[in-house]
Amino acid sequence: MRRSYVPTIAELEAFRACAGLGTTIRAADHLGLTQSSVSRSIGQLEDRLGVALFHRVRQRLALSDAGRRFARDAETILDSLHEAAVRTMAFGGQSDVLSIAVLPTLADRWLIPRLAGFHAAHPHVAIDLAVRLETVDLETETFDAAIQRGPAEPGQTGIVRLFDEELVVVASPALLDGRAALDDAELAALPLLQQSTRPTLWLRWFQAAGIDPRTTLRGHRFEQFSMVVEAAVAGLGVALVPEVLAERELAAGRLVLASPNRIAGEVPYRLAFRPGGEDRPGLREFVRWLTAEAADQPVRS
């Protein structure tokens, strides 16, 4: 039988404990094992890899150069196994689990409030939701699907157009102090809240207004639209945000439209899924449900 160079979990756990605690006695106590079993695991691991992972200094263990390099990988492997076990236990009773990536504020403001309807209709499908600001590459990442902004042309395989983005200017009623909707010059005189991952939004808004573009880049910066919306509610300035992400605050009167104008986003919101994903019943049901929800999203002419 060919010899395996792949460490066992017991060897990795013993190595990590010794690397962190410095002695086999303390590692054994931490793992609930005997000192001899920990020492045996370390010896087997070093023999398996053909390198010394520790320097023995008196009664302490100090990582060698090879040990320091291996420690990072061992930590990652054990953490990944732990996370995989937790996910399996969490979703063990479900016949289908969908791993979905979604833009952070869209998840909070639009998707999650609607998920109860999906669960009621499809209780056998569990959703494992993660947020991503950057574009998700479904060929290299483990997600089944991603809800983000991007091109969505008819006939694209694995792409479903959800709805267009419309950006509006919002502010707290207190900041406007009873004034009606403002013109561009009045807007430019107020603090302009910036979204750091889409820093040219205000430039687009003012590009036809003859406003000095340098002034439109000044103001507090926030990484996510949820932060921009909350900053606007707090009266820190006016915000240019997708209307769909500020619906709650507008409906509650915590924000008001500060301009009658609006601009269209450059690309729509879309759902992308792995090639062949439509053959998977749970994903097919999610695509059908999400498309119906998106069709109910109000669109202004």
Residues 240 and 207 sit within 8 Å (Cβ to Cβ): no
Residues 101 and 270 sit within 8 Å (Cβ to Cβ): no
Q: Residue 258 contacts by C-beta under 8 Å, 6 or more apart in sequence?
A: 169, 170, 171, 176, 181, 182, 187, 238
pLDDT the model gives residue 145: 92
Give the C-alpha separation, 100 to 88, whole Å.
Answer: 16
pLDDT the model gives residue 1: 47
Q: Which helix (H) or strand (E) holds 61?
A: strand 60-63
pLDDT the model gives residue 256: 95
Q: Which helix (H) or strand (E) holds 41?
A: helix 35-49
pLDDT along the chain (301 residues), means of 10: 80 95 94 95 94 90 94 92 77 74 94 94 90 86 90 78 94 90 89 92 85 78 95 96 95 94 92 82 92 80 44
pLDDT the model gives residue 301: 44
Q: Which helix (H) or strand (E) holds 248?
A: helix 247-252
Residues 232 and 239 sit within 8 Å (Cβ to Cβ): yes
Residues 270 and 138 sit within 8 Å (Cβ to Cβ): no
